[in-house]
Amino acid sequence: MSRLFGTDGVRGLANGLLTAELAMQLAQAAAVVLGHERSTDGKRPRAVVARDPRASGEFLAAAVEAGLSSSGIDVYDAGVLPTPAAAYLVADLDADFGVMLSASHNPAPDNGIKFFARGGQKLPDDVEDAIEAQLGKEPQRPVGADVGRIQRFSDAEDRYIVHLLGTLPKRLEGLKVVLDCAHGAASGCSPQVFKDAGADVVVIGAEPDGLNINEGVGSTHLGPLKEAVVKHGADLGVAHDGDADRCLAVDHEGNEVDGDQIMAILALALKDAGKLKDNILVATVMSNLGLKIALRDAGIAIRETGVGDRYVLEAMRDGGYNLGGEQSGHVIFSDFATTGDGVLTGLQLAAQVALTGRSLKDLSSAMTKLPQLMINVKGVDKARAATDEGVAEAVAAAELELGETGRVLLRPSGTEALVRVMVEAADMETAERVCKGLAAVVKERLGAPSEMAV
């Protein structure tokens, strides 16, 4: 049987894979694995539950809370909040664990359940496996005064906003900021915290109805934000995804500023302030080579990980580093958060514009993005793609040709029968020629059609 937990919890079509029954069973299993220790004063274990505004989140959250409380867990219902807010509140409340219901940037019919351990930390694989192994076993069934109670976590959003404001190196008076909240979990708190920080705020994508999350807006659809920034003469724009654990930005001219550029700006700022631990940034293998070149020239090294924010987090924890993230906009400040936080990232980015008096376009020019092209070669034997001698020889020849001004990455997909061929080069013509050549070798050696994706 395939593993139920993916790279970010249990995710799937609500009422398809992810039913109310499964949600309750997962909660009951988590109660055994994560809520087994009572405090010394005999009080019941506590869990924070939050969700994004998807319609299915209403019945799934109810099922989770029923599963937890019937297993002897006191539930603090935080309502609609970003994923990083749920993680923060687990730590702030000193709860035993937390549950977040969201499918992040996926469309509204999908949903997901992820768990946070004590302190708001993501669960390691072995703990997820323990929860999955508990499914189907007899749940805890306390009676009388030992059943859990459910209460509204009435000041959850206020606690999170106060925390975010406390991270700012400078207030945002004088800045006009457009926020795109993706009709998602940040629709309430992100505009409020930017206003409280002193910014002049224009808001789009902040009218969630349970069905419109991520629909044509947010970090996966930057067009509306670009138009709004130019129309309103804003200094910058910030885009979240549905659960606000990521942030992409737009400068005053409407140009996209991606996660790599955001990390470059923030890494340089932390280094200048003497606050970048060991002068190291943690990033994945998919980050643009231009990031590595720009930071190398500034005396900052990059610690590379596999793709996925959980691997970035692991490397940060192992090395004690305090800044990391992904090109997609998951940026992690371990001094202030245990996971990627799009609202926090947007605030820190805006604060650098306020602090330096420089435009976001000027700040992002610290990094020159190298042209990058990716081709998905489908239907291949992924294991053979990693060991085939002909493919390896072609990669070596491409790397020799590109030298220090480019790179090659062949990465088997974690979910599909395909290999991603990615090439960066000094110019797009070279990137396209080398990438197509390598994709052709993979196709010839492993017999697969190819589909290009930039």
101-124 pLDDT, tens per residue? 999 999 999 999 999 999 999 998
* CATH code matching the domain that covers 160-364, chosen among 1.10.357.10, 3.30.70.2740, 3.40.120.10, 3.30.70.360: 3.40.120.10
Q: Is 250:256 a contact under the CB 8 Å cutoff?
A: yes
Q: Is 6:128 a contact under the CB 8 Å cutoff?
A: no
d(CA 26, CA 135): 7
For the chain, the 3-state helix, strand and coil shares in percent, each to the nearest 5, are: 40, 20, 35
Q: pLDDT band at 41, cuts 50/70/90?
A: low
Main-chain dihedrals φ then ψ at residue 52, nearest 5 degrees: -90, 175
Of the residues 56, 102, 104, 287, which is catalytic?
104
How many Cβ atoms from other residues are within 10 Å of residue 62's Cβ? 16
Active site (annotated) includes residue 104: yes
263-283 pLDDT, tens per residue? 999 999 999 999 999 999 999
Question: For residue 136, what are its two tokens?
Answer: 């189907």
Among 147-161, 181-195, 201-215, 364-378, the least confident range: 364-378
Q: Is the pLDDT of residue 441 over 60?
A: yes
* CA-wise closest residue to 225 among 212, 243, 207, 240: 240
How many Cβ atoms from other residues are within 10 Å of residue 67's Cβ? 25
* CA-wise closest residue to 263 among 319, 326, 212: 326
* CA-wise closest residue to 260 among 239, 240, 233, 281: 281
pTM exceeds 0.75, yes or no: yes
Please list the residue range(s) of the chain that carry CATH number 3.40.120.10.
Answer: 10-154, 160-364
335-353 pLDDT, tens per residue? 999 999 999 999 999 999 9
d(CA 352, CA 270): 10
d(CA 305, CA 284): 5
173-208 pLDDT, tens per residue? 999 999 999 999 999 999 999 999 999 999 999 999
Alpha helices in 50-165 (DSSP H): 56-69, 83-93, 125-134, 156-165
**What is the phi-psi region of residue 202: left when phi exceeds 0, alpha when psi lies from -120 to 50, beta otherwise?**
beta
d(CA 105, CA 124): 22
Question: For residue 81, what are its two tokens?
Answer: 């909040």
Could you list the beta-strand ranges (E) of 160-270: 176-180, 200-204, 236-240, 247-251, 256-257
Average pLDDT over residues 223-235: 98
Q: pLDDT band at 454, cuts 50/70/90?
A: very low
Cα torsion angle, 163, 164, 167, 171, sign:
negative
Q: How distant, in Å, are the alpha carbons of 72, 221, 321 from that of 332?
A: 33, 22, 10
SS3 6: strand
Residue type at 230 in one-letter notation: V
How many Cβ atoms from other residues are within 10 Å of residue 298's Cβ? 15
Cα torsion angle, 105, 14, 108, 413, sign:
positive
Please list the residue range(s) of the chain that carry CATH number 3.30.310.50.
Answer: 372-453
Torsion of CA 170, 175, 178, 179, to 10 degrees: 20
Q: Is 96:35 a contact under the CB 8 Å cutoff?
A: yes
Assigned fold of 372-453: TATA-Binding Protein (3.30.310)
SS3 316: helix
67-96 pLDDT, tens per residue? 999 999 999 999 999 999 999 999 999 999
* DSSP of 16-68: TTB-HHHHHHHHHHHHHHHS-PPPTT-PPPEEEEEE-S-THHHHHHHHHHHHH
Predicted local confidence at residue 2, as pLDDT: 62
Q: How distant, in Å, are the alpha carbons of 97, 116, 215, 268, 317 from that of 339?
A: 15, 10, 24, 21, 11
CA 87 to chain centre: 13
| Mean pLDDT over each residue of the chain, to the nearest integer | 92
Which architecture characterizes domain 10-154 according to CATH? 3-Layer(aba) Sandwich (3.40)
Predicted local confidence at residue 172, as pLDDT: 98
406-436 pLDDT, tens per residue? 889 887 776 667 788 989 898 899 999 999 9
**pLDDT more than 70, % of the chain:** 95
